[in-house]
Structure 1
Amino acid sequence: MSKKSALILSLVVAVLLIISFCHFYQSAPPEDVGAESEVIGVPAQPEQTATVSPKAEPPPVDVSAAPSSAGFLPTEMEDPAKFAAYQQKLKEMAVCLNMQMNTLDPNVEINFETFNQVINPDLGDVVTQSEEWVATDLRTKSGEMRRIYIENAPSIEMESSRTLKYYSFDAGGAQKEISLSKEQMANPSDTLVASLEADGEVVGRSISRKIFYSNGDDLLLVEKNGKIFSFELAHDGAVFRCTGADKAATFQCQCK
């Protein structure tokens, strides 16, 4: 081979090497791209929020309500439909929450005490309880329905604090807040509450309580005119919630 041919061959080889090197360098990813891709590929974690304790809703105002009467849910002999509804819902509750249940006695009044005797085998004794709110419904002389709603809440400055709200309801049940001063709304006196009740005739009173058991569970219970209206219990990773429990036709429950 002549020197000229050898020189040309060397130049061709050199050019090919340079092209190959440039192509490899451009196609190779930077060392930190892989790590960055992994970070980008990780889905954003949701912000952690504080667990809010559930609060029971008051029963709807019955615009045609008559004055409240004493007594509790009837026994089996007085209203078989209500007793049968309780039996069925308690069976569903036992399955949902994986709980043992005692038998509901057909000859006793169905109130919290008898209800508690049925549900407490896995819960233990009642340790303490707190009153969450009280809703008092009254009818004025003009026929207007009103509600006095007092909510209890823990306070740093004192053992507890109360907040008052006053509502009126039209014939369709639509709610409108009646204006009160800040002094009246914050920790209202018993005298103020009594004066508001004097605006009409009391036709209903609902109370929400939270009952704490020795096993650590707590029951959220609403009683309307002395009868169980709604309840909610969390146990063994599930929640069982019922409402309208004062009437067989409105008694509805769900398991979550």
Structure 2
Amino acid sequence: MNSKQKIIVPVVVVLALAAVSLFILKQRAGYTGHFPDDMPDFNYTAEDKSKSDASGFLPTQMENPELFQAWAKNAPAMSECLDVEVTAPTAQEDLTLNALSRIVRNSFGEVLGVQNKWTVVDYKTKYGEIRRVYVEYSTDRTESLARRVQHFTILTSGKVRDIHLDKELTDNPTDEEIQNLSADGTVLATAKSSRINFANGDEINFVEKNGKVHSFIASHLGKYFRCENTDSEKMSCSCN
């Protein structure tokens, strides 16, 4: 070994050790995580926990008059924005996925299918650790990888730490295998992003939070109607 090689070998070893140390420190401290921009924030309070058991997307008028009035006001705005017929929701109807599809059916046509984009389940283990199961779905049918799973520990700082999964659990696992990741814990929150495809070529992209629609974007002929916080009285919509 010449003198140049004698210098290079220790340098390589030092760099390798530094990289390993940096990885260990990163895992301990956690990192922000690369999650979709439309993923809602979660607050694991008793109030939020109770909301996760609710059914439907938006309450009926009798359950929450303020929220029903907010939607009843924005339904005509949606009609004007997209220049389509929007059937007003009734006071006795939860604005579920089916109801959301129904109010635009006269203009958008029948539902061709609903495609998931991502799902999230946050749960607490029996040891008090909060974990996240994040599943990302491919929207390209030509790709062999239909869905990819990641498992995290959520730290008190809000950052995440990776939990190793074998490749068979990461790439295209079964529904049962995904459910088993959180089966021994208590579910704190769920979220899902999906797209509804209609017969006339229109679509609605929406995000569910704890079983209710949290936001959606309806598109028609290049126009977009967006609504945020649709699961609360803070609901706000815009047209562009």
1:1-256 residue pairs with structure 2 within 5 A?
A: 57-64=38-45, 65-66=48-49, 68-72=52-56, 73-153=58-138, 154=140, 156=142, 158=144, 161-171=146-156, 173-249=158-234, 251-256=235-240
8 Å CA contact 1:124–1:213 kept in 2: the answer is: yes
Bigger Rg, which one? 1
> Taking structure 1 as reference, are residues 56 and 221 closer, same or farther at Cα in structure 2, changes over 3 Å only?
farther
Give the distance between the partners of 1:149 and 1:180, measured in 2 at CA. 12
Give the distance between the partners of 2:118 and 2:101, measured in 1 at CA. 21
Look up the SS of the partner of 1:102 in the other structure: coil
Give the distance between the partners of 1:203 and 1:106, measured in 2 at CA. 30
Give the distance between the partners of 1:134 and 1:119, measured in 2 at CA. 25
Give the distance between the partners of 1:243 and 1:127, measured in 2 at CA. 25
Runs of 4+ that moved beyond 4 A? none
> Taking structure 1 as reference, are residues 199 and 61 closer, same or farther at Cα in structure 2, changes over 3 Å only?
farther
Query: What count of residue pairs does the alignment treat as equivalent?
Result: 200
> Taking structure 1 as reference, are residues 91 and 167 closer, same or farther at Cα in structure 2, changes over 3 Å only?
farther
Percent identity over the alignment?
A: 31
List per-residue Cα deviations over 1:126-152 (Å, max 9, x = no partner): 122222222112122343332211112
8 Å CA contact 1:85–1:248 kept in 2: the answer is: yes
Deviation, structure 1 residue 239: 1.2
Deviation, structure 1 residue 155: 5.1
Give the distance between the partners of 1:229 and 1:130, measured in 2 at CA. 17
* TM-score (ref. length: structure 1): 0.68
**RCO higher in structure (CA 8 A, sep ≥6):** 2
8 Å CA contact 1:63–1:171 kept in 2: the answer is: no
Deviation, structure 1 residue 183: 4.1
Give the distance between the partners of 1:56 and 1:103, measured in 2 at CA. 30
List per-residue Cα deviations over 1:57-80 (Å, max 9, x = no partner): 332232334263142232111211
Deviation, structure 1 residue 172: 5.1
- Corresponding residue number in structure 2 for 1:12: none
Give the distance between the partners of 2:167 and 2:117, measured in 1 at CA. 21
Instruction: Indicate the RMSD between aligned Cα atoms, in angstroms.
Output: 2.4
Q: 126-135 or 104-113: which moved more?
A: 126-135
8 Å CA contact 2:208–2:214 kept in 1: the answer is: yes
List per-residue Cα deviations over 1:214-241 (Å, max 9, x = no partner): 1111111222333212211211321122
Q: 212-221 or 135-144: which moved more?
A: 135-144
8 Å CA contact 1:232–1:239 kept in 2: the answer is: yes
Look up the SS of the partner of 2:38 in the other structure: coil
Give the distance between the partners of 2:236 and 2:200, measured in 1 at CA. 27
Give the aligned residue type for 2:105: N
